[in-house]
Structure 1
Amino acid sequence: MRKSLLVGAVIVIIAVIGVGIAQWQRGQAPLPGGEPPISLPSEILPPSEPDWCPAVEVVSIPGTWESAANDDPFNPQANPLSFMLSITGPLQQQYPIDRVRVWTTPYTAQFRNIQTKAGRAEMTYDDSRAEGLARANAELKYVADTCKSTKFIVAGFSQGAVIAGDIANQIGTRQNAVTPERLLGAVIIADGRRETGVGINPGVAVAGVGAEIALQPLNGVVQAVTPGATMTGARPGGFGEVADRAYEICAPNDSVCDAPQDVGTLVARAGDLLLANGNHAQYATNPGVIEGTTASDWTVQWARSVIEAR
C-alpha cells in the first residue's frame, strides 16, 4: 500500500514539473527556482507512523487476582505466578518490542463474594471486568489510531478471558477501534461466557457452557453469594466476522467454562461454579486440554505462527 502511494506521489510530482516546463517554454511562467516547493494533496502523500509502531501488538488480559490497577503493562509484577506470563514471557523474549509489542492490561482483577472478610476492600466482578475492558480497549484504540499498519492479537484467562472474548465480539461486530481485518486472532482461555460451537475449540470437546450462561437464569441467587457479579449470558452476535480466528480453550470439568446446563446440577454445584476448581488453575500444565501440549504452549506456538506470517 505504501509503495503504491509513493509511486502515485512521484507521478504527480513529475506531472507538475512537466506542466511547469511546458509553461516556461511557452513563456507563460518561469521555471521555479527560488519559489516555495510544490505542495501535494495530503491524500497522496505516503502515510507516516512513529518509529515505535510494532508489526503486531499483543494485548494480554490476566485473570482474577493476577493483575493490579497500577501494574506495569510492559513488565507486570502484580503476580509473578500469573498464568498469562507463561504466554507473554516467551513472546517478549523472542521478539524485539518494535516487532511485537506485548502489553499486559493493568486492572484490579478482583471478585467480591460473601466470604470476603470484614474491612477488606474488594472490587466487585462487574466493576473489575468493566475496568479491564475499558483499559484494554483504550490501548487498542491508541495503537490502532496511531499505527495504521499494526495488526493485533488479544488473549486472556478466566476473568481476563471474559474481557478478551467481549473484545473479540466487539471487533467481529465492528464495534471496536480495531477492525476485523486487523485482528490476527483472539485466544480465550477458561471463558465464563463460552458457548459450544461459537469460535474454534483447538482442544478436547466439552459438554457444558460458561458459568455466566449456565447461571444466568439463577442470577438472583448468584447476586446473594457474589454481590455485583452479574451473569451476563451469551454474547449477542458471537464473534461475528472473527469467528474463524477466535479460539476458545476450556479444560473438561473446569466449572468456569464447562458448567452443567441443567438446573438441578447447577444448584448442587453452585459453590464450585462460583469459586472454580482445581482444573481452573492448571492450564499451564494440564495435558488433558489440548492433545500433545498445554494451553499455554499451544497459544505461544499459535502466536508465533501468525506473527511469522506477517
Structure 2
Amino acid sequence: MLTILAVLAVLVLIVGGAMTWLQTTEDGALPDVPGLTDEASPDDEPPAEPEQPAWCPRVEFISAPGTWESAPDDDPMNPQANPYSFMLSITQPLRDTYEPDDVKVWTLPYTAQFKNINAEHEMSYDESRSEGTSRLNGELGYMNEECPGTDFILAGFSQGAVIVGDVADQIGAGLGPVPADKIRGVALVADGRRENGVGVNPGNPLSGIGAEIALETVSNLVQVVVPGATMRGTRPHGFGELADRTMQFCAPNDSICDAPQDISNALGRALDLAAADGVHAQYASNPNVIPGTTTPEWIVDWSHGLINQ
C-alpha cells in the first residue's frame, strides 16, 4: 500500500510540473532553467578576440612622407630615402618606445614627386598620389586579412597627408580596405585638401583652406605651372565615421593647407604650391601650429594614448 501511495505521489509531481511547463510556454515565457539565468545568457558573453598569427602586432602605425621624402624602393620598416623627412620626427620616437611585434611602424614607400616647370623630369602629382594610394590600400588590406585583430593609426605630411586623407575618407564612408572601427586615429599635417570644420583641429584657428580646394576652379590654369596636378576640391565624405578621429594640423599662412579662398593670383598660388617652402618646411619646430608644443610632439603623445588605450 505504501508503495502504491509513493508512486501516486511521484505521478502527481510529474503531472504538476508538466502543467506548469505548458502554462508558461503557452504564455510565451520560458521557465527558469538551472544554470541558464539572465545573468548567464549566451548573448551577454563578450565577443571573442579575432585569432591571428603570433607575429601580428596589436597596432600598426602607418606613416606617409611628403614630396621628395620617400621612394618606391625604400624599406618601409627602416626608411632611408630622406634622412630629413618630417615624418621621421614622429616615427622614430615610436620605434624607440615599442617592440616591432607589438607596434608595427610602417612607412609608405612611393614615388613622392611633384612635376613642375622646374622639375619636368619628375613623376606628376596625380601619378605619384595614385601610386601612394594604391600601396597604402595594399598594406591595409594585407594586414587586415592576415591580422584581423590589428588596429591602425594613419599619419601623413603634405602629399602624404593628401594620400592618407583620401584613404581615410573612403574608410570612413565604408568604402575602404578596412572597416572604420579598425582605425584608432588619423593625423594629417599640411593637408592640401584641408577644409575648415571637417575633422578636428587641435591647433590655432585658421581662415584659409587647402590649395586643392582654393584652386579647384582654375585647375587647368594651375597645370601650366604643375603639369599633371589636378586640383580636386573637397573630399566627398568629410571623413565619414572617422571625422571625430581625424586630426588636422596646419601652420598659419602655409600655402598648401591655409591658402586664401580668393584666386585672384592663381599662377602665383601654383608657384607657391610647387615650391612648398617657408612655413611648410618648418613643422618639426614651428611653435605656432599648436600652442605650447610642436606638431611632432603632439602627435607622438596622441599616438601613445591611442596605442595604450
* TM-score bracket for this pair, using the shorter chain length: 0.7 to 0.9
User: Which segment drifts farther, 264-273 or 88-97?
Assistant: 264-273
Q: 2:276: which partner in 1? A: 276
Q: 1:111: which partner in 2? A: 114
Q: How does 1:92-107 map to 2 (within 5 A)?
A: 92-107=95-110
Pair 1:89 & 2:92 matched: yes
Question: How much does 1:145 deviate?
Answer: 1.1
Question: How much does 1:268 deviate?
Answer: 4.8
Q: How does 1:65-214 map to 2 (within 5 A)?
A: 65-116=68-119, 121-214=121-214
C-alpha distance in 2 between matches for 1:150 and 1:270: 40
Residue ranges of structure 1 left out of the alignment (5+ in a row): 1-43
C-alpha distance in 1 between matches for 2:308 and 2:50: 24
AA aligned opposite 1:218: V
Deviations 1:222-251 (A, max 9, x none): 111111111011000110011000001000
C-alpha distance in 1 between matches for 2:302 and 2:50: 31
Question: How much does 1:51 deviate?
Answer: 1.2
C-alpha distance in 2 between matches for 1:166 and 1:45: 32
Q: 1:11: which partner in 2? A: none
Pair 167,46 (structure 1): closer, same or farther in 2 beyond 3 Å = closer
C-alpha distance in 2 between matches for 1:62 and 1:291: 24
Residue 57 of structure 1: SS of its match in structure 2? strand
Deviations 1:74-120 (A, max 9, x none): 00000000000000000011000111000000001000001126xxx
Residue 248 of structure 1: SS of its match in structure 2? strand
C-alpha distance in 1 between matches for 2:159 and 2:178: 21
Q: 1:299: which partner in 2? A: 299
**Match 2:61 to one of 52, 58, 61:** 58
Deviations 1:36-94 (A, max 9, x none): xxxxxxxx998531111110001110000000000000000000000000000000110
Is the contact between residue 256 and residue 274 of structure 1 (CA under 8 Å) also seen in structure 2? no
TM-score normalised per structure 2: 0.82
Q: How does 1:221-240 map to 2 (within 5 A)?
A: 221-240=221-240
Q: 1:25: which partner in 2? A: none
Pair 1:251 & 2:251 matched: yes
Is the contact between residue 259 and residue 273 of structure 1 (CA under 8 Å) also seen in structure 2? no
C-alpha distance in 2 between matches for 1:306 and 1:201: 17
Q: 1:14: which partner in 2? A: none
Q: 1:16: which partner in 2? A: none
Residue 133 of structure 1: SS of its match in structure 2? helix
Q: How does 1:3-22 map to 2 (within 5 A)?
A: none
Is the contact between residue 60 and residue 104 of structure 2 (CA under 8 Å) also seen in structure 1? yes
Indicate the structure (1 or 2) with the bigger Cα radius of gyration: 2
TM-score normalised per structure 1: 0.82
Deviations 1:187-208 (A, max 9, x none): 0000000000000000001110
Q: 1:24: which partner in 2? A: none
Q: 1:27: which partner in 2? A: none
Q: 1:289: which partner in 2? A: 289
Residue 224 of structure 2: SS of its match in structure 1? helix
AA aligned opposite 1:81: Y
Pair 83,260 (structure 1): closer, same or farther in 2 beyond 3 Å = same
Is the contact between residue 283 and residue 294 of structure 2 (CA under 8 Å) also seen in structure 1? yes
C-alpha distance in 2 between matches for 1:49 and 1:244: 29
AA aligned opposite 1:302: W
